[in-house]
Copies of this chain bind each other. A is one copy, B any other.
């Protein structure tokens, strides 16, 4: 009975063969656990919240699919909350998910700082997902953004490009995604003694990439651009092609996120592919540990893997 309970509850310490046998028997009996009763008994709701800036950004939509899938393996349901990266709404999320009880919170903050996170009084189990806050007061999973950005920039330089611009810096942010990716770009440029060109944006949408690239083309003409996410890159691609220049012939273009759009654009988009499935699984695993043994150990920081995906949008310069 104990072994069956371990399988049903998704605990790890069951031999694979034993687990398979139990699961087969459960399937044959069409067993469905009474989750509400069990959760109540354990003082749990069986529901976690995922708070992110916006579902209509493909990166967050793709990530959400993996978080929901990983949570389902723990038999958790997922409430999704959108903050639009608004500081006030991020503060409200940290205070509790609109006064509803949830077992835990996976949070991709944009605006909030480490100091406010540290001052949080709500004791719901918390895992941070994404690049924002390092060495903070909560468990955290992200890819190594500095190294990923350096890899992309090195790739562009390695193609023989000499005027490599970065697109996606943000005036406002003192921590988080933009400074980390900018730092990686700068490391690569400095290593090759190349002058920097940096274009700033307000947000990370296609429209921002389009506007920033249009402005950049008027000011100076880079021969390669590393955009800090794929939406910026797809907006920038449209701006370059609309101006009559070629990608990659005149300007090589790379992004970061590996959203599906960039696999079908013309040209297809070179990018960094964070392992979104791994990010989601680690986030859910960290949350499970935190729920089970809350406040029993120091905040964990875990890195997920990534890969550079070289596609049509980056190649050596070609004469027109």
Contacts and interface: CB of A to CB of B under 8 A. Distances in A.
B260 A238 contact: no
Nearest to A76: B98
A296 interface: no
A82 interface: yes
Interface centre among A82, A98, A210, A263 (most CB of B within 10 A): A98
Band of interface residues on A:
35 or more
Interface stretch (A59-67, A159-167, A287-295): A59-67
Interface in A58-106: 58, 61-62, 64-65, 68-69, 75, 77-82, 97-101
A138 B234 CA distance: 41
Contact of A35 (B75, B79, B98): B98
A237 B99 CA distance: 47
A100 B80 contact: no
Interface string A1-43: 0000000000000000000000000000000111110000000
Nearest to A82: B68
A135 interface: no
A47 interface: yes
A36 B79 contact: no
A206 B98 contact: no
A263 to B, nearest CB: 7
Contacts of A265: 238, 265-266
B266 A46 contact: no
A56 B47 contact: no
A241 interface: yes
A92 to B, nearest CB: 9
A301 interface: no
Contacts of A46: 100
A297 interface: no
A55 B55 contact: yes
A70 to B, nearest CB: 12
Nearest to A77: B79
A274 interface: no
B100 A77 contact: yes
Contacts of A69: 82
A54 interface: yes
Given A81-B68, A206-B260, A99 B32 contact: yes
A305 to B, nearest CB: 20
Interface of A: 32-36, 46-47, 49, 54-56, 58, 61-62, 64-65, 68-69, 75, 77-82, 97-101, 206, 210, 234-235, 237-238, 241-242, 260-261, 263-266
Given A32-B99, A56-B61, A206-B264, 8 more contacts: A34-B99, A49-B77, A55-B61, A56-B58, A56-B62, A56-B260, A206-B263, A210-B264
